[in-house]
Structure 1
Amino acid sequence: MMFKPFVYIQDLNLSYRNKAVLKDLYWEINVGENWVLWGESGSGKTALAKAIAGLTAAQGSIEIDFDPLSKLPAEVLFVDSWYQFKNLEGVANFYYQQRYTSQQAKDTLTVHAELVLFGKEKGLHFDRVEPILEALGFSTFASSQLIELSSGEHKKLQLVKALWLKPQLLVIDQPYTGLDAASRKNLNMLLYQIAEEGVQLILISNDQELPTCIHRFAEIKDGQITTAYTREDTSVSFEKHNREIPGFLKESPVYASDNIVKMVDVNISYGEKQVLKNINWEVKAGEKWLLQGHNGSGKSTLLSLVNGDHPQSYANELYLFGNRRGSGESIWDIKQHIGLISPEFHWYFDATATVWQSIASGFYDTVGLFQQLPYTKSSQVDELVEYFGLTESKNELLTSLPLGKQRLVLLARTIIKNPELLILDEPCQGLDLQQTQRFNQLVDELCSNGMTVIYVGHFESQLPTCLEKRIVLEKGEVKVVESLNIEILS
């Protein structure tokens, strides 16, 4: 009797916007094998994963031979890199600042309610989800509204569901996105445990940190798959980014004040839940800060105060760019000084904007371009389009690009006006190693010209070298403020 593979893919072809992504792709996954799949941004990793899960149409053959005797559900579960939640009326029309407006947050389900619905749909026992919640540090989020969660917390919710269900085939796109170091370690332990119970894994990841049950490696390149038994045999070779930084970004920002941020005993609460407790923090012009803390420690809320988005900033002693918050300046006055990128901002960005328009909108701090640019500013947009290697895509919709390239577009938008303060909240989520190196190289170049930076990053090995100070939050409080040596961290 011939041996039959668990997953058999033959002559698979998939195109996106008339561009061939997968070309006569062949891949066999045998029973008991757990894989990591990687490749450069846009190589087709997510498209292949969705095709295996039956979520994307493709030409060719995909056969999955589920085990009828297994106690595990005979299904493929695909965990997307982003979680697309909806409000109670089934609509996903949210805006960026809505997360911080507690009255409107009641419009979405709580984490507990979402898990109850999933458990009923899949026929799962609720007592079996508790150990997973505990291991991922997610037990305290039961009453949180979906809209209140950060990107890392949304990722945890998806992972909790997947680990609870334990399907015969589990495909996870970017499993470590937004997770702190402790959560990554515990996730790898949980993935190992379910693999021991018979779940087969395909992880789409460029990360080095993997569960020990992974023993097969695959890379997509030019629409084809190369497979190996070791990572090194499929390791992508990256060329160093040697384009010269645009001239207008070589100039030092013009500072309105030597004091960029000053917080005095700042407190933020939602009802009885205190998110920030007696925060004292000062950022001077030209300083480069690393902001860290476990998921749920208060980092996103702290940044929302700095960028003017949080309504409770008026009730606190908070100074931004030399002015006390509430002294007459508008949110747009504050944003003129700031370039911002965050996973949440990416979620809510204008889906109808082209690449060029998205970058240009950074001049006006809007989520799309609603006015004509003068020649000088148009030329600066063109320079950044060229610098980031986006020339061929400049007239395409932002949402039509692979996730990593979308992030590069928004990174370009962040720096287009050479702002006094760069807020980079996990800026390299979704980027491949080459793009991460390129962006951090750019941050280092900008910092040499005197720009102020607040950088949020969980992966110490993927940080720019210019960072010189660190603040660490724990349960809403400042745990550490110290000078930083990136070489020691790495």
Structure 2
Amino acid sequence: MKESFVSIQDLTLTHQHKSVLKDLNWTINTGEQYVLFGESGSGKTSLAKIISGQLCAIGELKVNFDNNSHLPAEVLFVESWYQFKNLEGVANFYYQQRYTSQQAKDTLTVHAELVSYGKEKGLHLDQVEPILEALNFASFASSQLIELSSGEHKKLQLVKALWLKPQLLIIDQPYTGLDAASRKNLNLLLDEVSEDGVQLILISNDTELPTSINRFAEIKDGKIGMSHAKAATSVSVEKDLKEIPDFLKESPLYSSEEIVKMVDVNISYGEKQVLKKINWVVKAGEKWLLQGHNGSGKSTLLSLVNGDHPQSYANELYLFGNRRGSGESIWDIKQHIGLISPEFHWYFDASATVWQSIASGFYDTVGLFQQLPYSKSQQVDELVDYFGLTGNKNELLTSLPLGKQRLVLLARTIIKNPELLILDEPCQGLDQQQTQHFNQLVDELCSNGMTLIYVGHFESQLPTCIEKRILLEKGEVKVVESLNTQTRHCEARSNLV
């Protein structure tokens, strides 16, 4: 009888006195290509870390590598977030550093990172070129790691994994931050490596998968069970929302009718021009969708709006009625804004509790460093209750499942009832039900007249309140348009970006 490729018996994992995996059993045979799914916090990532040797657990685990295979006898786990380091080996960055070119020189370029990885793994550089082209990543060779967006970091992880071609490749949320074209090409690349003998475990709730996927497994109540493909898709169900807190029913106090005004804005890094003659006006109360392929300039555009980009002073940029550089500080600007972005989430204070994380939104800090007056403490308590986080309020933010972490950050962004809410791919990594619930909350919270800029690739995964769209392509404005129900429906079917 042929030995199974992966054998797991009676695997048990407890985290912070909570049972995550309970006597889990799983057998993976040669040639089986899996999608692993389950609710947020069910233990998917923990199981992947156990299989790859990054996490210890009680039980028996055996990976039977093929000694006759030309592929490396290795389990490679691609995490949902890539933790890079600077040239001195330090990984402690703050998210504004991405836009400061002088500090960006502290990190390797993409090319240097690939050269280092190839040398470490004994790989040839010429073999990585087709992968870079397929994922539209070749043009980023000279970019510093700290300059990359979340989607671009994901591509770098995937490039290295597909280049290595280990015998077992586990990818956590493979499509996170990728545009439609990149997702399609990634599936083709995954099919290619599977034909070459790589076995896949994709941790994903997505429905557009490689054709090589032939098995589906679900973690539920700490155990794993086999499933049919149809069961891997979440059923769309709207949740009943609690009544919104009174202090958020009032319209924000607007300081200007124009929230953002850009006139022929240009941003360059050396010879590389990232934004070219951007003209854009966002008026109070408008709900905008910002779209574009990976590398189109979306994150840089938002960094101007959020006050983080140093080149804003060299451009004609007006925020909340004042020209940038007229004497206001970055903190003056942030008082008007509530923000969620993948980078901000990554660099958030790991020592903050749920309550502290929400309260920090009053002061635009990444943790709470002062005591709140009674009135503000009451508002935090109201939001904790509104978002269903009462049982978690004293827990560390980082200890929560991803879906709840995003709810905490949403609560943090709206605690001061800001004039402008910037949500940069806020549902990245969430499943269908979590995304729908999150956007349902956004619709409710923005009903008081709050201005919204929302970044999302899929038209079918957006708040219904979106009314206008700006599309970037290679740093230029390609489309500015008003959206109606019919337009949204057509674009939802095309999913162009």
Q: TM-score, normalised by structure 1?
A: 0.97
1:133 corresponding residue in structure 2: 132
**Does structure 1 retain, via aligned residues, the 8 Å contact 2:207–2:233?**
no
In structure 2, what residue type is equivalent to 1:21?
V
Deviation for aligned residue 1:9: 0.8
1:269 corresponding residue in structure 2: 268
Give unpaired runs (5+ residues) of structure 1: none
**Does structure 2 retain, via aligned residues, the 8 Å contact 1:467–1:486?**
no
In structure 1, what residue type is equivalent to 2:95?
Y
How do 1:220-235 residues align onto structure 2 when only pairs under 5 Å count? 220-228=219-227, 230-233=228-231, 235=233
**Does structure 2 retain, via aligned residues, the 8 Å contact 1:415–1:422?**
yes
1:279 corresponding residue in structure 2: 278
SS at structure 2 position matched to 1:381: helix
Q: Deviation per CA, 1:311-369: give whole Å up to 9, x if none.
A: 11011000011111111111111111110000011111112211110111011111111
CA distance in 2, matches of 1:383, 1:66: 54
CA distance in 2, matches of 1:5, 1:470: 51
Give unpaired runs (5+ residues) of structure 2: 493-497
Task: Give the direction of change, closer, same or farther, for the CA distance of 1:397–1:441 in structure 2 (3 Å limit).
Answer: same
Aligned residues: 488
Q: Deviation per CA, 1:78-129: give whole Å up to 9, x if none.
A: 0000000011111111112111110111101110111011101111111000
SS at structure 2 position matched to 1:448: helix
Deviation for aligned residue 1:234: 5.1
How do 1:32-431 residues align onto structure 2 when only pairs under 5 Å count? 32-228=31-227, 230-233=228-231, 235-236=233-234, 240-244=238-242, 245-431=244-430
CA distance in 2, matches of 1:82, 1:106: 21
Q: Deviation per CA, 1:386-411: give whole Å up to 9, x if none.
A: 22222222112222223332222112
Task: Give the direction of change, closer, same or farther, for the CA distance of 1:234–1:436 in structure 2 (3 Å limit).
Answer: closer
**Does structure 2 retain, via aligned residues, the 8 Å contact 1:407–1:430?**
no
Q: Deviation per CA, 1:140-168: give whole Å up to 9, x if none.
A: 11111110100000000000000000011
Q: Spell out structure 1 runs of 4+ moving beyond 6 A.
A: none
CA distance in 1, matches of 2:212, 2:387: 37
**Does structure 1 retain, via aligned residues, the 8 Å contact 2:37–2:232?**
no
In structure 1, what residue type is equivalent to 2:451?
T
Q: Deviation per CA, 1:245-282: give whole Å up to 9, x if none.
A: 32322222111111000000000111111110100000
**Does structure 1 retain, via aligned residues, the 8 Å contact 2:4–2:29?**
yes
CA distance in 2, matches of 1:180, 1:216: 25
Q: TM-score, normalised by structure 2?
A: 0.96
**Does structure 1 retain, via aligned residues, the 8 Å contact 2:205–2:232?**
no
CA distance in 2, matches of 1:249, 1:218: 42
Task: Give the direction of change, closer, same or farther, for the CA distance of 1:235–1:138 in structure 2 (3 Å limit).
Answer: closer
2:436 corresponding residue in structure 1: 437
CA distance in 2, matches of 1:374, 1:98: 32
Q: Deviation per CA, 1:35-91: give whole Å up to 9, x if none.
A: 111111111000000001111001101111111111111110000000000111111
CA distance in 2, matches of 1:111, 1:140: 10
Is 1:481 aligned to residue 480 of structure 2?
A: yes
**Does structure 1 retain, via aligned residues, the 8 Å contact 2:37–2:217?**
yes
Of 237-246 and 33-42, more deviation after overlay is shown by 237-246
CA distance in 2, matches of 1:137, 1:213: 22
In structure 1, what residue type is equivalent to 2:148?
L
2:495 corresponding residue in structure 1: none
Deviation for aligned residue 1:14: 0.6
Q: Deviation per CA, 1:361-382: give whole Å up to 9, x if none.
A: 0111111111111222212211
CA distance in 1, matches of 2:231, 2:307: 48
CA distance in 2, matches of 1:326, 1:176: 39
**Does structure 2 retain, via aligned residues, the 8 Å contact 1:255–1:285?**
yes
SS at structure 2 position matched to 1:386: helix
CA distance in 1, matches of 2:106, 2:374: 44
Identity across aligned pairs (percent)? 81
SS at structure 1 position matched to 2:265: strand
In structure 2, what residue type is equivalent to 1:154?
H
**Does structure 1 retain, via aligned residues, the 8 Å contact 2:234–2:432?**
no
CA distance in 2, matches of 1:3, 1:234: 29
CA distance in 1, matches of 2:434, 2:245: 18
Deviation for aligned residue 1:488: 2.7
Deviation for aligned residue 1:31: 0.8
Q: Deviation per CA, 1:273-305: give whole Å up to 9, x if none.
A: 111010000001111111011111100000000
SS at structure 2 position matched to 1:15: strand
Deviation for aligned residue 1:385: 1.6
CA distance in 2, matches of 1:315, 1:114: 32
CA distance in 2, matches of 1:49, 1:454: 35
**Does structure 1 retain, via aligned residues, the 8 Å contact 2:236–2:436?**
no
